[in-house]
Structure 1
Amino acid sequence: MGRLSQGAVPRRVCILRLSALGDCANVVPAIRTLQAARPDIQITWIINKAEAGLVADIPGVECLVYDKRGGRAAIADLKRQLAGRRFDALLDMHASWRANRISLLVKADRRIGFDARRARDGQRLFVRERISAVESRHVVDGFLAFADMLGASDPVMDWRVPIADADRARAAELLGDESREILFISPCSSHTRRNWLADRYAAAADHAVRAHGLRAVLVGGPSDLERRMGADIEAAMSSAATNLIGQTNLKQLLALFEHGRVLVTPDSGPAHMANATDITTISLHAATDPRRSGAYRSRAFCVDYFAEAAARYRNATPDKLKWGTRIEDDAGVMGLIPVEAVTDRIDQAMAGARA
C-alpha cells in the first residue's frame, strides 16, 4: 500500500512496544511526529509496567500497562481493557513472540509491522503491512517510518517527557549546591556484557576531574549489580565521586541529566533517555552497533569498537552481520574499548562541540 497524505493521518492509533527502556524512549519522537501531523490524534500505547514509568504521562497518550510477570492474568487484564475497542491502525513496533500474542488482542483496520530487515520472531504473520525499507540502521529511524506510513512524514525529533516539579526538586536536593559542571556516569546496562570495566570508568572519571574540573556523579538503578559497580568505581578512583546509584526513579534521573554536561554510559536505557536533555552522551559500543543503537542526538560522540568485536568474535565486518546482532560473548568484548578512546571524547565534548 502506498503512503497516505498527511491529511489522512488516522485518529485512533494503537502502538505496541512493550520494552526495553531505551527503545521506549526512542518511540517518543514518532509519537511527537504523529501528534504534530494530527493534533487531535488519540494514541493508545501497550507497554510494560517498568517502561511506563517514563512515558505514561505524555499528553495525548493513553498507556495500557502490561505486567509481564503477571502471566495469564496479565493477558486477561489487557484483553478486558481492549474489549469493544477498534483502532484505525496498529503500529506493531515490537518484533517478539510475546508481542505477537498481545497483538492478537488488538482490533485494527490496518496492522503495520517492521520491514524485512527489522522483523523477526514471525511478526510478518501478525501484520498486513510493513514499513518501507529504511536506509538508516538506527532504531529511531525505524520507529519514525511507522509515522510516515500513516502520512506523518515530517519528523519531530523531540524525546521530552513530563517531569514533575517534585522530581526536579529531588534531583536538585541530591546534587546539592556544588557549582562544578557534572560528568555523569551511568555504568550499567540491563545486558551485563555491554558494561565497561569499573577501573576504566574510574580512569575516565579521574581524567574528567583532573583535566576539566568536572564533578563525577554515578547514577543508576537499585540492583545489587549496579550498587557493586558503583562501589568498585569509587574504590578505583583517585578523586572523589558522588554516588547516587539507586537513589532516583526514572523521572528524577532525567532531571539529574538536565544539570549535566557529559554522560558516559554503555548502550543502555539512560543513553537514550538522555536525548530528552542537552547533555552530551558518550555511549560505549563494542557489543552493539552504534549505527543501530547509539545515543541518537550524540552519535558523533559514540565510542565505536563494534568493528573490532566483529572481527575478533565473528570473523566478519559489521556490514556482514545481520541487523541487530549483539556480540555479548564474554566480558572481554567491552574490554576492547581503551580508556583513551573515552577520554578523547570527553575532551571533545568539553572543547565546545555539542551533541
Structure 2
Amino acid sequence: SIAVVLLSAIGDAVHGMPVVTSLKRAWPDARITWVIQPVAHALVEPHPDVDEFIVFDRAAGLAGFREFRSTVAGRRFDLVITLQVYLKAGLLTAILDSPRKLGFDRHRARDFNWVFTTERIPRHEPQHVQDQYFEFLRHLDVEPVHEWRFAFSRAEAEARRAFFAEIDRPALAVVVGTTRPGKNWLPERYARVLEVAETDMGLKPIIVGSEHPAEVAAARRIVESTRARPIVALKNDLRSLAWILDGSALMLSPDTGPLHMATALGTPVIGLYGYTDPKRVGPYRGPRDLIIDRYSRPGETVPSAETRSGNMQKIEVDEVLQKIELASGNPASADPT
C-alpha cells in the first residue's frame, strides 16, 4: 500500500496526476491512497488510478489533524511519498505509520520537513515542478507515465457538448485574475485583447476561473470596458472548468491552476509570466513559443522559485495578440517541448 501526501494547490494536484498513474502502472496490485485537501480533491476525485482519498481539512485547525489521526489509526503503509515541502505535509507524514517515508532532500525541503521522512531523494539542480515530482518515481525505479487522467463522466461530457453547442466559433478561454496580485495582468489590456480576438480573429472569449472576489472584480472591469461580448463562466466548480478548458481551442492565462489544467488536457496555452519563472512553473508540455516571459533576465537558464513584482505590466497587447494568432492561425509552427 502506498500513501501519497500532496495536499494543494490546483497546479500541484495536476502535477500529481501522472505520479499516481505511474505508480499504478508499475505496481498494479498496490493500493494507492492520496492525502489531499478539499479544493484539490474536487478536481481529481474521479481519478481511476487512486483507490482512496483521505481528505484533510486544514481549515478545521487542530481538529483537522485529530480527525486525520483517527482516520489512519491502525493502518500501516508500505511506502509514504511526500511530494510537498511544507510543515503541514510533514506533520501528516509523521502521523502516517510506515517504515519508509520518502521526501525531498534537505536542501529543498522547508519547515524542517526532512525531519518527518526516513528517506530522501538525491539533491538535484532546479527544474520544472513536474520533473521534480518525477524524481520520486525514478528514485523508486518507476518509469514516469505522461498521462493526466481527468476521467470525465458521461454527465460531464454531455454538459460540455451542450455548452459548446451554443457557441458558433472556436473558444478562447481566458483567466483574468488570480488571488496573488503580482501575477495579474492589466484589465484594460485584457479588454483590448478580447476585442481583437473576437472581431478580427474569429474567436469567442470565455472568462473562466472561480468566484473569488478578485476574479469577479477583474471580470467586471473587463466586460465594462471592452466592445467584445465574452461569456463569463466564473464558477467554484473545478470539474466544469476542466471540461470548458478541454473544449476550448486556446487558453490565455497568467500562472495559475487552470493554466496547468489546460496544459494537461492538451489545450494550447498562451502563458503570461512576469511574477513567476516559466522555466519552473510554465506549461509543462505546451509549445514554448506561446509563452510570454517577462520574468527571466538575460543569461538566466536555471529555474528559480523567486517571485518578481512589477514585470506583468511589461507585457504589451500586441505581443499577446501575436501569440494568439500564432496558436490559432498556424499551430503546427509552434515549437513543442
Kept in 1, the 8 Å contact 2:171–2:250? The answer is: yes
Aligned partner of 1:192 among 181, 184, 187: 181
Residue in structure 2 matching 1:337, options 290, 315, 335: 315
What SS does the aligned partner of 1:303 have? strand
Letter in 2 for 1:335: Q
In 2, Cα distance between equivalents of 1:35 and 1:47: 18
The answer for the alignment partner of 2:241 in structure 1 is: 253
Structure 2 distance, partners of 1:116, 1:199, is 44
Q: Which position in structure 2 is the counterpart of 1:269?
A: 257
Equivalent in the alignment of 1:352:
331
The one of 93, 115, 119 aligned to 1:103: 93
The question of whether the paired residues in 2 share the 8 Å contact of 1:265 and 1:271 is answered with yes
Q: Distance in 2 between matches of 1:170 and 1:29?
A: 26
Distance 2:218 2:158 in 1: 27
CA offset at residue 136 of structure 1? 5.7
Q: CA deviation at 1:230?
A: 1.0
1:190–1:268 CA contact under 8 A, matched in 2: no
Compared CA separation, residues 98 and 214, structure 1 to 2 (3 A): same
Kindly provide the CA deviation profile for residues 81-119 of structure 1, in whole angstroms up to 9, marking residues without a partner as x.
111111121111111112222211111121111135532
Residue segments in structure 2 that go unaligned for 5+ positions in a row: none
Displacement of 1:166 in angstroms is 2.1
**Residue 86 (structure 1) aligned with residue 65 (structure 2):** no
Residue 235 (str. 1) matches residue 214 (str. 2): no
- Distance 1:348-1:241 versus aligned 2 partners, 3 A rule: same
Corresponding residue to 1:218 among 207, 230, 247: 207
What count of residue pairs does the alignment treat as equivalent?
Answer: 331
- List alignment gaps of at least 5 residues for structure 1: 1-11, 312-316
TM-score computed with the length of structure 2 as normaliser: 0.92
Deviation at 1:177, TM superposition (A): 2.3
RMSD, aligned α-carbons: 2.0
TM-superposed CA distance for 1:160, in Å, is 2.1
Contact 1:172–1:256 (8 Å) recurs in 2? no
Q: Does the aligned pair in 1 maintain the 2:127–2:302 contact within 8 Å?
A: no
* Cα deviation code 1:191-221 (max 9, x no counterpart): 2321111111122222322332111111111
> Where does 1:197-212 land on structure 2 (aligned, <5 Å)?
197-212=186-201
Say if 2:178 and 2:215, in contact at 8 Å, map to a contact too. Answer: no
**What SS class does the counterpart of residue 331 from structure 2 fall into?**
coil
**What residue in structure 2 maps to residue 123 of structure 1?**
113
1:314 corresponds in structure 2 to none
In the alignment, is the contact (CA less than 8 A) between 2:21 and 2:49 conserved in 1?
A: no
SS at the partner of 2:219?
helix
2:307 maps to 326
How many percent identity over aligned positions? 29
Matched, 1:16 2:9: no
CA-CA distance at 1:135 after TM superposition: 4.5
- More divergent stretch after superposition (48-57 vs 171-180): 171-180
Q: Report the Cα distance in structure 2 between the residues aligned to 1:117 and 1:233, rounded to whole angstroms.
A: 43
Name the CA distance, whole Å, in 2 between partners of 1:188 and 1:48.
Answer: 23
SS in 1 for 2:100: strand
Q: Secondary structure at the match of 2:234?
A: coil
Give the whole-Å Cα distance in 2 for the aligned partners of 1:68 and 1:159.
26
Partner of 1:52: 41
The answer to whether the Cα contact below 8 Å between 1:282 and 1:298 also exists between their aligned partners in 2 is no
Distance 2:319 2:123 in 1: 33
- Of residues 345-354 and 165-174 in structure 1, the stretch that sits farther from structure 2 once superposed is 165-174
Distance (Å, rounded) in 2 between the aligned partners of 1:325 and 1:274: 24
Structure 1 residue 140 corresponds to structure 2 residue 130: yes
Q: How far apart, in 1, do the equivalents of 2:126 and 2:198 lie?
A: 36
- CA separation of 1:76 and 1:334: change in aligned 2, threshold 3 A: same
Q: Is the 8 A contact 2:34 2:54 kept in 1?
A: yes
